[in-house]
Amino acid sequence: MTNVANMANAVDMAGVAGSSDAADVAGLTNPANVAVRNLTIRLGANTVIENLDLDVRAGEFVVLLGPSGCGKSTLLHSIAGLIDVTDGAIEIAGEDMTWADPKDRRIALVFQSYALYPTMSVERNLSFALRINGTPKAEIARRVARASEMLQLGPLLKRKPAQLSGGQRQRVAIGRAIVREADVFLFDEPLSNLDAKLRTELRRELKQLHQRLGATMIYVTHDQVEAMTLATRMAVMRGGVIQQFGTPAEVYARPDNLFVATFLGTPAMNLLKGTLETREGRVHFSTGHWRLDVSAYPFKNTPANGLPCVLGVRAEDVRLAEGASEHAKVSLVEPMGNHRVIWLDYHGVQVASIDQTKTPLAIGDTAAFSFDSTHVSLFDEAGGARL
C-alpha cells in the first residue's frame, strides 16, 4: 500500500465521533471553523511553513492554491493531524486540536489517489469506517443510501473499484468522506488524476455538494480554474507563505503582489514596466513612449515621484477598438471558440487582449486598442507589492 493510501486509511479507520441522529441533509454536518495560528512546520532541515495564520469560517469552501512544493499538502495534513507541528496551534470549532489524534478532529480527508479497498464493493468501501467504529447497521444503511443518492452511486454499489472509471472511483472516495458526517472536509487535489471533461463535471458536483451539505471544506489544488470556481475564499501560497487570502473576485481583480497577479488568469496579467510621475496633483504611469493618468488609482500610500513600478492589466481590459489611442502589430491570434486572444507587440512587450469581436485580424495587421485605466493594478517594481 502506498504511503498516501496508508494515511487515508488511518484517517478512515479513525472514524468520526458522535452525530448519529437522524436528520435531513441539513443535519449531516455540523460545520466547524478552523483556525491555524502561527504555524511552523519543519521537515528534516527544511522549514516548509513558517508563522502561518489562516482563519476558515464555518461552512466556508477555502481553497489553498499554489505551485508545486509550496506547502499546500503539508498545511492540509497538519490540519488533519497527519504531521506533527513544530510550533503554533490548530483549532477546530474553537477547540485546540494541535496534538489531538486524527480520529478526534471530526475531519474527513479525500486524496488525489482514491485509496479504495480493491477487494471490497463500493457499498462496503463506503461503509468501512462506520463498520469499524461500531455504528449500528440501520444507521450505516441510512448514511450510505444518502451519500450514494447525493453522488449518484446507486447503480454502482455492488461493483468493485476495478470496475469503475476514475471519476466514479473519486466519487466513491468522496462518498466515503460524506458517510462519516465530518464537520470539516479536507481535499488534497482530488480531481487531478481525472481527464479534463471529468474534472469539470466532478468540480461542479463538488460545488453543489458543498451547497447542499453546508460543510466546511478546505481544498488543495494548483489549478486556478478549480480555485476560482469552487472557493468562497482562496489562499494563494508560495514558499510556505500565504501571499493573499480573499474571495476569488478580490484576488483576481486586486492581486496583492506580482506573484499573485501572474499566477491567476489565462493569459496571465499583462505587465508593463515604467515609472510613476507625480506632478501638480496628478499621477501618471509612464513608460517613456506612453503615459496613463492613474490619479484615480487607490494608492495605499502616496507614491514617490519617479518610483519604478509595474503596471498590470488583464487581457480582457485591453480593448481593441477602431480609433483607440494605442497601436501595435498583431503578433499572434489564438482562437478560443467564444473569443480570441490577440497578442500585440507593443514596443517590444507582448500584450494579450481578449477579444469578443469578429473583426478580421491577422498576424502583421496593426490594431488600435486602449487600456481600461479603471481596472489596472500597480506594483512596486523592487518588491513586487501592490501600490
Ligand X SMILES: Nc1ncnc2c1ncn2[C@@H]1O[C@H](COP(=O)(O)OP(=O)(O)OP(=O)(O)O)[C@@H](O)[C@H]1O
Q: Catalog residues that contact Mg ion under the rule CB under 5 A.
A: 73
Q: What is the spatial distance between Cα 79 and Cα 107, in angstroms, rounded to a whole number?
A: 9
Contact segment (CB under 6 A) with ligand X among 43-51, 174-182, 197-205, 253-261 equals: 43-51
Give the phi and the psi of residue 187 in degrees, each rounded to 5. Answer: -125, 130
Bond from prior residue into 118 cis (ω within 30 degrees of 0): no
| DSSP-assigned letters across all residues of 165-195 | -HHHHHHHHHHHHHHTT-SEEEEESTTTTS-
Q: Which is nearer to ligand X, 43 or 304 (CB)?
A: 43
Q: Does 74 bind ligand X (CB under 6 A)?
A: yes
Q: Does 44 bind ligand X (CB under 6 A)?
A: yes
Q: Does 43 bind ligand X (CB under 6 A)?
A: yes
Nearest alpha carbon to residue 91 among 39, 20, 154, 150: 39
Nearest alpha carbon to residue 282 among 290, 293, 274, 291: 293
Site size for ligand X (CB under 6 A): 13
Q: How far is the CB of 41 from Mg ion (least distance, A)?
A: 13
Q: Does 363 bind ligand X (CB under 6 A)?
A: no
Q: Which is nearer to ligand X, 239 or 384 (CB)?
A: 239
Q: Which is nearer to Mg ion, 215 or 220 (CB)?
A: 220
Q: How far is the CB of 299 from ligand X (least distance, A)?
A: 33
Q: Does 126 bind ligand X (CB under 6 A)?
A: no
Q: Does 69 bind ligand X (CB under 6 A)?
A: yes
Residue 374 burial class via C-beta count within 10 angstroms: exposed 0-12, middle 13-18, buried 19 and up: exposed
Residue 306 burial class via C-beta count within 10 angstroms: exposed 0-12, middle 13-18, buried 19 and up: exposed
Q: What is the spatial distance between Cα 95 and Cα 257, in angstroms, rounded to a whole number?
A: 34
CA angle 109, 21, 14 (to 5 degrees): 30
| Site map 226..255 versus ligand X, x via CB under 6 A | ------------------------------
Which residues, numbered 184-223, are part of the site for ligand X (CB under 6 A)?
Answer: 222
Q: Does 265 bind ligand X (CB under 6 A)?
A: no
C-alpha cell belonging to residue 297: 488609482
Q: How far is the CB of 44 from ligand X (least distance, A)?
A: 4
Q: What residues line the site for ligand X (CB under 6 A)?
A: 43-44, 46, 48, 66, 68-74, 222
